[in-house]
Structure 1
Amino acid sequence: MTSENIKIARLIQNDIESISHPFKQMADSCGLTEKEFIIIMKKLCQEGYIRKFGAVLRHQKAGYKKNSLISWSVAPAKIGKIGKIFSSFPFVSHCYERKPAFEGKYNLFTMLHGKDEDISFLANKMAASTEINDFIILETLEEYKKTSPEYF
């Protein structure tokens, strides 16, 4: 990446102001026109440097107060299929396969978010859809840090 690309990446990885032309303000700080800035951003997307660009919902402010990490024990031969099924649930924000370090058997992890729904009800719904019944619910008690990573 060029130094100009890195400067743009630094700007867009932070919060974007809610103003009519946020990219113009960023472009000005780089000595670029708004059009040049957007062209470079599009190029970074096309080249795969930027994977995704979008809004981040503050789930607690939106009423989603409950969230838990669910650890699942899934047979290695079924993990891809089960991961796709779990990923299709709208209340699942993350779904990862990991080495089974936790008790030597829990290898699939999902993050669930709910409003008034009981997380155990949602987890049991997932279990029923896949016949995976060996899972542990790790409820979030306190959030100490939640930020997007900064790379530059």
Structure 2
Amino acid sequence: MLSAIDKSIIRKLQEDIPLTPRPYKSMAEEIGITEEELLSKVEELQNNGALRRIGGILNHREAGFEANAMVVWMISEDNVQKLGEIMASFKEVTHCYERPISGKWPYNIFTMVHGQNKKQCETIIKKISDTIKICDYKILYSTKELKKSSMKYFE
């Protein structure tokens, strides 16, 4: 069972992260505990499986990244792990997933690349392609953002 303080921490972690040098200290103060207590409780929640991860959502358009491209790659099964790690290491890649091949869709690695414009995305994608020596890919540009939110618990 989660305690009232556990639920308060989870609610707080679902909000925007304060833009301060010590965001967890600010969160802790709002909850009424110390930063050390908050961090200890977060570790405890992770260890007991109640909290899997803490992630941030960047509004990339507001940050100056007008283009984002989902790049789908055909990678041989024996190279998925190695090449996936290389692709994920590019700072411009925010997501890198392996997906099962399905029917007429032979692509099994998906990377999301963000850039200030399409040309910059394509330059990054070419650099990734040259690095991993794979040229069998397709670029799918986003045309509209339909949703950018996470699940909320204990509201």
Match of 1:68 in 2: 69
TM-score by length of 2: 0.78
Q: Distance in 1 between matches of 2:15 and 2:102?
A: 34
The aligned amino acid for 2:104 is: E
Structure 1 residues 102 and 10, CA gap change in structure 2 (3 angstroms): farther
Answer whether contact 2:98 2:109 (CA < 8 A) is retained.
yes
> Deviation digits for residues 11-67 of structure 1, max 9, x if unmatched?
32122456883322223xxxxx34644542343245554455465443222211111
- Is 1:134 equivalent to 2:126 in the alignment? no
Match of 2:29 in 1: 24
The aligned amino acid for 1:2 is: L
In the TM superposition, what is the alpha-carbon distance from 1:104 to its structure 2 partner?
3.2
Match of 2:88 in 1: 87
The aligned amino acid for 2:131 is: S
Match of 2:150 in 1: 148
Structure 1 residues 3 and 106, CA gap change in structure 2 (3 angstroms): same
How many residues align? The count is 147
Match of 1:30 in 2: none
Structure 1 residues 151 and 138, CA gap change in structure 2 (3 angstroms): farther
Say which structure is richer in strand: 1
> Deviation digits for residues 94-152 of structure 1, max 9, x if unmatched?
10000012733100000001124432222121111112111110101110111233355
Structure 1 residues 79 and 39, CA gap change in structure 2 (3 angstroms): closer
In the TM superposition, what is the alpha-carbon distance from 1:75 to its structure 2 partner?
0.6
Structure 1: gaps of 5 or more residues: 28-32
Q: Distance in 2 between matches of 1:26 and 1:16?
A: 14
Q: Distance in 2 between matches of 1:47 and 1:12?
A: 17
Q: Distance in 2 between matches of 1:78 and 1:85?
A: 11
Answer whether contact 2:71 2:110 (CA < 8 A) is retained.
yes
Structure 2: gaps of 5 or more residues: none
The aligned amino acid for 2:116 is: K
